[in-house]
Structure 1
Amino acid sequence: MAAIIITILLTVWSITIDAPLEEPANPSVTPNPSKAPWYFLGLQEMLVYFDPWIAGVVMPVLIIVGLMAIPYIDVNPAGNGYYCFKERRFAILTFLFGFLVLWVLLVIEGTFLRGPGWNFFMPWEKWDPHKIVALTNVNFPYLFGFREYWAQAAFGLFSIALWYATIPAWYIWRRATLVNVGFTRYALKAFLFMTMMGMVAKMFLRIAFNVKYVLVLPWLNI
């Protein structure tokens, strides 16, 4: 019934409302802002928080590989053949968080809240093409007083290792997860989950403290 209702709504919507098409492309005029199609705006929005090789290559690959790996790393028989939330609370909430927050929300933000210069505008603000936002970006180790290059690199490596190790280790200690799924499955599951949450942490650091990189190396910036 729900599928029928949605189909009817989409059909009526597509008939009564014209598609928001713009004028033909003009190679002599560059729109400001220049936006990708809406289904790629999540990736374009990620470029604000990550380098292109992460936002455009690493993260999409991890999303695809992670979705492909779900049947192999999720061996919980609960929910097979029937719908349930209580027995699969963590799995369902994790998927919804990744889809709604890390994809749909980024698409909405890139579509409606990014204006000229890819500046952030609230819905009630006018898109001013002359808006300039003065930002002083710093690296994460700089906030803790590390000024030397290799000291910052060492602290960045330590921070990332701590991020990937602490919470999964605590969860093992609390729940004895390895007994149920095995080390390989749990390690892969923990890596994908902590990477997803690491994206949120990096976005928060960027918005709240203007942190550009957590780790800076001659050949790698994260």
Structure 2
Amino acid sequence: MRQAVLNDERIEKGEPVDEKVEEGRVWVWPDLVYTELICLILCSVVLIVWSILLDAPLEQPANSAATPNPSKAPWYFLGLQEMLVYFDPWLAGVVLPTLIIVGLMAIPYIDTNPKGNGYYTFKERKVEISIFLFGFVVLWSSLIVLGTFLRGPNWNFFGPFEYWDIHKLEALTNVNLSEYIWLRGLGVGLPSQWFIREFFGILLTLIYIFALPLLLAKSFLKGYYEKLGPARYYVGIFLFLMMLSLPVKMLARWLFNLKYVVAIPEFFFNI
């Protein structure tokens, strides 16, 4: 980001970016390769000495009669484990990770803006860089930090300096959207037919996926719609809305104890 800011300042002054200035350049071989080789040797020495002097923090051998509490995945999977709090396994473990991979693969085909190719810049790619930083830092990295340091026994939330009390109980009554509407809003019982019961949740989901992109294309994102075209715009906005669904669902759980927007246990389908 520092180099991007420096390049933006040079562009405003009408000067070429640093990556296109010939002065001060060095060859990959031997300058860069030698530097990387020295760093590799130094890091290897540090790791070897560290491993000799300090014992690895290994726990007791696995015991099926004594499951650790909390039972956590490796740190790089804790983001997925934290997502399981808010989504069903088929969404948190299959659909959303697949969309992440597909979205990363689709970026070069969706974003064909030539600005920023071969040099760092922020002002010329504000939206693109901000979306990436939001997805990686705010969502993915924060979920790993949350699962590593703030989730204790029984996967309860603990503050940074709070004692991990295994007997801590949190009185949470998670409620589905259909229960909010039929029981609390309309004051009637839940319909027995699943489609009628979940009609409002299904309608809200369809509006979020299909109607919201159209509204954004006519208003706030009109410029992007005209620049990208219908196909690339709808693919990009669909991936963005799927990414945005995670913080939306998290806020709904924290503020309203909302469990599922659509809950159809008859078909093991919950959103």
> TM-score band, normalised by the shorter chain?
0.7 to 0.9
Taking structure 1 as the reference length, the TM-score comes to: 0.87
Q: Which moved more, 1:96-105 or 1:156-165?
A: 156-165
1:190 counterpart residue number = 237
1:202 aligns with 2:253: no
Q: Distance in 2 between matches of 1:91 and 1:71?
A: 11
2:75 counterpart residue number = 38
1:71 aligns with 2:108: yes
1:173 counterpart residue number = 218
Gaps of 5+ in 1: none
Identical residues among aligned pairs (%): 54
**1:47 and 1:96, CA in 2 relative to 1: closer, same or farther beyond 3 A?**
same
1:55 aligns with 2:104: no
Alignment of 1:62-101 (within 5 A): 62-101=99-138
**1:87 and 1:166, CA in 2 relative to 1: closer, same or farther beyond 3 A?**
farther
Taking structure 2 as the reference length, the TM-score comes to: 0.73
1:157 counterpart residue number = 202
**1:80 and 1:13, CA in 2 relative to 1: closer, same or farther beyond 3 A?**
same
Q: Distance in 2 between matches of 1:13 and 1:53?
A: 42
> Are the equivalent residues in 2 in contact too, given 1:171–1:177 (CA < 8 A)?
no
Q: Distance in 2 between matches of 1:57 and 1:20?
A: 32
2:66 aligned residue (29, 32, 38) = 29
Letter aligned with residue 228 of structure 2: V
**1:18 and 1:207, CA in 2 relative to 1: closer, same or farther beyond 3 A?**
farther
How far the C-alpha of 1:204 sits from its partner, in A, is: 0.6
How far the C-alpha of 1:152 sits from its partner, in A, is: 3.9
> Are the equivalent residues in 2 in contact too, given 1:153–1:216 (CA < 8 A)?
yes
Q: Distance in 2 between matches of 1:201 and 1:82?
A: 34
**1:32 and 1:48, CA in 2 relative to 1: closer, same or farther beyond 3 A?**
same
Letter aligned with residue 125 of structure 1: E
Q: Distance in 2 between matches of 1:158 and 1:17?
A: 57
Aligned Cα RMSD in Å?
Answer: 2.5
Write the deviation string for residues 94-135 of structure 1: whole angstroms up to 9, x where unpaired.
Answer: 111111122111111111111111111111211111111121
Write the deviation string for residues 8-28 of structure 1: whole angstroms up to 9, x where unpaired.
Answer: 9x9498538765433333333
How far the C-alpha of 1:166 sits from its partner, in A, is: 4.9
> Are the equivalent residues in 2 in contact too, given 1:138–1:211 (CA < 8 A)?
yes
**1:185 and 1:23, CA in 2 relative to 1: closer, same or farther beyond 3 A?**
same
How many residue pairs are counted as aligned between the two chains?
217
Write the deviation string for residues 41-95 of structure 1: whole angstroms up to 9, x where unpaired.
Answer: 1101111111111111111111111111111111111211111111111111111
**1:18 and 1:197, CA in 2 relative to 1: closer, same or farther beyond 3 A?**
farther
Q: Distance in 2 between matches of 1:133 and 1:171?
A: 39
Q: Distance in 2 between matches of 1:157 and 1:176?
A: 30
How far the C-alpha of 1:184 sits from its partner, in A, is: 1.2
Gaps of 5+ in 2: 4-34
